[in-house]
Amino acid sequence: MAGSGSERSNVRAPDLDEFDDEEMEATAVGVDLFKSEAIPNYPAVARLGRYEILGRIARGGMAEVYLARAREDDGTVRHVVLKRVLTEMQHDRRMREMFLEEGRIASRLYHPNVCHVYDVGEANGIAYMVLEWVHGPSLRDVVRRLKQHNTALSPLLSAHIAAKIASALDYIHNARGIDGKPLAIIHQDVTPHNIMLSWKGQVKLLDFGIAKTLTSGASRTPQGKYEYMSPEQVRSQPIDWRSDIFALGVCLYEMLTGISPFERESVPQIMTAIVEENPPSLRSIRREIPELLERIVFKALAKHPEHRFRTAGEMQHALEEWITRNGGPVPDVRLALVIGSYFQAEEKAPLKPGAAQFTGTFGALVAGFESPIVQEEGEKVDGSADELPSTSSTPRSLRQRLFDRFFDMPPLFAFLWTLGAGSVLLALFVVIYLLWVR
């Protein structure tokens, strides 16, 4: 495509030997970039509250994220993302409080570059939040994909994405509550994992799981992904909004070079590098990076907070001024063309094959689900928890249903059950051994 080709023609990156990405994936030129999103009529596999669960998008160490569907009173359908704490962790009081606090913080925020939280609640003993669905890859996925092509985002697109996130951070840092008082939110986890790029070229910041307010007291325990922490975070010192600016500087460095500036073999080495070492010059990696843009990056990466941009808004202004002088502003469609050209059409599907095949942690959601399920062909079937359809049309086995029940138990009961089952198996083994010896 002409749009994506023009961006890539200006890109020079380090030799391929400098990139060691084990997750090699096939890529091809994207298609249908300008068509409206056609969302398949996925069958509902479960329900939580008023939301129909269509399939799992991702599973992390603490939570699962699903594509869900909400049917409005006027008959319209809205697709959203539903996030909930893993079943095996929902009995952890601290975990539930952190999760609900994330929802409360994010639901107060309304900005075009912040992924909005529509709803926070509990149903069937499960705490959940409902978020805006950003249909597209994370910045982390994009950077990794481009590394496979021995390239990186152009300086113009990198600055554009960083300016959008700086705008979001400036809004977050200055947001006020309904009482007019500043919320003084610090995100604390600004990373490529938490920056989403939609297939239509929108840029969104998400995940306020460890966000804190200055008024409530930011934690002095390092939180977040180590490679993106500020020096003061690593030292467990008090932090303010300038810690987020440092993290955004790390993201911008990575966009421009494909290299994480503080990536090392171990956490202690990462922490030492953040506190004591300066990253290599951007221009030593990519000679075509403009000197002024490099100065913006390294100002954000200053070791001492007072040497960084005073606010995220100041960094946004510096980036936008540079963009204007270097061919900007950047329309959404231009970003969409470039990003989309590196992913195959099937990779852009809302749900991947097998997304409705869930682990035991899904049991609490499917239990008692008896509402009619709309099949892709438009027919309806009356399903139960044992007869739910999946994207692979494979019925859930007795073993999987027992696995579901196990993970739905409170931790103490699960431990006692495991202890009892282990004792029975040990006794059976001893009996078999004795009979064999005789």
Residue 408 maps to a domain: no
Is the domain of 271 the same as that of 215? Answer: yes
Domain harbouring 305, CATH code: 1.10.510.10
Is the domain of 141 the same as that of 21? Answer: yes
C-beta separation of 238 from 221 below 8 A: no
Is the domain of 59 the same as that of 157? Answer: no
End position of a domain, from candidates 322, 344, 366: 344
Residue 255 maps to a domain: yes
For residue 137, how far is the Cα from the chain centroid? 9
Is the domain of 106 the same as that of 198? Answer: no
Residue 29 maps to a domain: yes
Residue 352 maps to a domain: no
Does 119 participate in catalysis according to the annotation? Answer: no
Residue 161 maps to a domain: yes
C-beta separation of 293 from 228 below 8 A: no
Residue 438 maps to a domain: no
* Block residue for tokens 């021995």: 150
Q: What domain range is 185 assigned to?
A: 2-36+136-344
C-beta separation of 79 from 118 below 8 A: no
- In order along its 438 residues, the chain shows pLDDT tens digits of 434 444 443 433 333 233 333 332 222 223 333 344 568 888 888 888 889 999 988 887 778 889 999 988 887 889 999 998 877 777 778 877 878 887 887 888 899 999 999 998 888 778 888 999 999 999 999 999 999 999 999 999 999 999 999 999 999 999 988 888 888 889 989 999 999 999 999 999 988 755 555 444 444 444 558 999 999 999 999 999 999 999 999 999 999 999 999 999 999 999 999 999 999 999 999 999 999 999 999 999 999 999 999 999 999 999 999 999 998 899 999 999 999 999 998 899 998 877 766 554 555 566 556 544 333 333 333 333 333 333 333 344 444 445 445 544 555 556 676 777 778 888 888 888 788 776
Is the domain of 54 the same as that of 141? Answer: no
Is the domain of 125 the same as that of 158? Answer: no
**Mean pLDDT across the chain, nearest whole number?**
78
Is the domain of 118 the same as that of 186? Answer: no
Is the domain of 318 the same as that of 386? Answer: no
Is the domain of 130 the same as that of 147? Answer: no
Angstrom distance (rounded) from CA 331 to CA 160: 9
Is the domain of 237 the same as that of 299? Answer: yes
Is the domain of 187 the same as that of 278? Answer: yes
**Number of domains into which the chain is organized:** 2
Residue 246 maps to a domain: yes
Is the domain of 322 the same as that of 337? Answer: yes
C-beta separation of 149 from 24 below 8 A: no
Task: Check 141, 170, 189, 244 and give the catalytic one.
Answer: 189
Domain harbouring 119, CATH code: 3.30.200.20
Tens digits of residue pLDDT in 343-398: 998 899 998 877 766 554 555 566 556 544 333 333 333 333 333 333 333 344 44
